[in-house]
């Protein structure tokens, strides 16, 4: 059996403000193919705090959350299994 590695699509929304951060994230998620996942760079604050709940309502989940530098986070998002 061949297992394909998932392909990462990166979205940098560090310089955007809420609600634009979520709008851009939602559009990117809608364009994902089954073998892809979305990785986003986002600033700490309101946009990051509201992201998990909003994503869950749309059927997505955050698989990884990591602070990569001061107040900037890296998230990996995919469709819920």
At 55-66, the pLDDT tens digits run 999 999 999 999
pTM of this structure: 0.88
Local structure of 21: helix, strand or coil: helix
Q: Which CATH architecture has domain 7-79?
A: 2-Layer Sandwich (3.30)
Tokens of 66: 């990591």
Pairwise CA distance, residues 47 & 16, whole Å: 9
Contact (CB, 8 A) for 62 and 76? yes
Q: Are 51 and 62 in contact (CB under 8 A)?
A: yes
Return the domain boundaries, the chain.
7-79
- Indicate if the alpha-carbon torsion angle 62, 21, 16, 27 is positive or negative: positive
Decide: 38 and 25 in contact? Cβ < 8 Å.
yes
Q: What is the pLDDT of residues 26-72, one digit of tens each?
A: 999 999 998 899 999 999 998 899 999 999 999 999 999 999 999 99
């Amino acid at each position: 059996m061949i297992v394909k590695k998932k392909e990462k699509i990166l979205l940098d929304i560090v310089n955007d403000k809420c609600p634009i951060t979520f709008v851009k994230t939602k559009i990117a998620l809608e364009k994902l193919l089954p073998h892809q996942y979305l990785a986003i760079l986002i600033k700490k604050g309101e946009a990051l705090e509201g992201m998990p709940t909003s994503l869950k309502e749309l059927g997505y989940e955050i698989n990884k959350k990591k602070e990569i530098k001061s107040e900037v986070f890296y998230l990996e998002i995919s469709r819920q299994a």
